[in-house]
Chain A
Amino acid sequence: MLTLLAALLEEAPGWIHGYELMKVTGLKSGSLYPLLIRMTDLDLVEAIWREPAVPGRPPRHAYRLTAKGLAVAQEAKTAPLPSGLAGARI
């Protein structure tokens, strides 16, 4: 989760797609999506649908940190493991 928070913080306040997140973080889809689902449920990440760059493709989900997520990510950047994320290592 910390790796993902760091990657999303790097991109903030911009949006980033799931597959780009996989490439940036090195996470596999089997790790990335459960984390994104969990972080969205915790209101750390927000998602929107964006039109695809390539015509004929389906709309894509893009992600970015919420205000709460930004605060947690910045805290995580200075303190490696904040109390609120104890046990949240990947």
Chain B
Amino acid sequence: MNAPLARSVMAVAMASLGPDLRAWKLAMAAEFEDAVADGHGLSFSTGCLTTAWRALPTHVEGRLTLVNYTFILGLILPAAALLLLGLLAGYPYVHPVYADMIGPFAKAETVVPTINAGNAAAMPALTVLLMLRVGSDTLVAWFAAERDWSRAAAALRWGAAATVALALFAGLIVLDETCAVLPASTFGVEALVIALLRRWHGEIGDACATRGSA
């Protein structure tokens, strides 16, 4: 039971150690097998993980990893959670509690949307659009954590399509432009964050390649 967990923790530790500590990474991995054989694999791997995380701020890749996870956990996932909470609270079918606050920023007149016989049939479609947007945010966070920028960009495009469709249909159906403000603004933040992270990773990758070939 402990051995698979220890191996998982060890894999995270190995992935967290930077290129400057490559020899130490191999050294720890070699000793790990003896620790597992003695039944101390989990405590050994946890120690290696602690070592790796303590060393993160000391190398450029580690700092970038920290920045990456700060943006993912601090911006992208909270944005997705905010949209999901809005969905659970009735957005965009009922007047959202934050519409009065964000309306002035968007220079939009807040109109209380009401469900009536004319627009009620469209509500499930709006729900699906918003859920697609939440799904795309989750995928963006996942691929950003994996540093798979082409898939993160594809998920962003999916989110952009869902946001535009939501803005168009919500504007027409519930006659409230503020419906689009929150999804659009969170999308803007995410796109900016992913573009910055992708650029930094590219610069660091180039720097490492140059250093490696020197």
**Is residue B93 contacting chain A, with contact meaning CB distance below 8 A?**
no
B51 touches A34 (CB 8 A): yes
Question: Interface size on B (CB < 8 Å)?
Answer: 23
Partner-binding segment picked from A7-15, A55-63, A68-76: A55-63
Question: Interface size on A (CB < 8 Å)?
Answer: 20
**Is residue B27 contacting chain A, with contact meaning CB distance below 8 A?**
yes
B13 nearest in chain A by CB position: A29
B48 touches A59 (CB 8 A): no
Query: In the assembly, what is the distance between CA of A28 and CA of B55, in Å?
Result: 16
B28 touches A33 (CB 8 A): yes
A29 touches B30 (CB 8 A): no
Tell me whether chain B's interface is mostly helix, strand or loop, or mixed. Answer: helix
**Is residue B187 contacting chain A, with contact meaning CB distance below 8 A?**
no
A32 touches B47 (CB 8 A): yes
- Residues of A bordering B, CB below 8 Å: 17-19, 22, 28-34, 36-37, 47, 52, 57-61
* 10 residue pairs A–B, Cβ–Cβ below 8 Å: A17-B34, A28-B43, A29-B43, A29-B48, A30-B49, A30-B50, A34-B51, A57-B33, A61-B27, A61-B30
Q: Which 8 A-B pairs have the closest CB atoms?
A: A29-B47, A30-B47, A61-B27, A30-B50, A19-B31, A60-B30, A58-B30, A18-B31
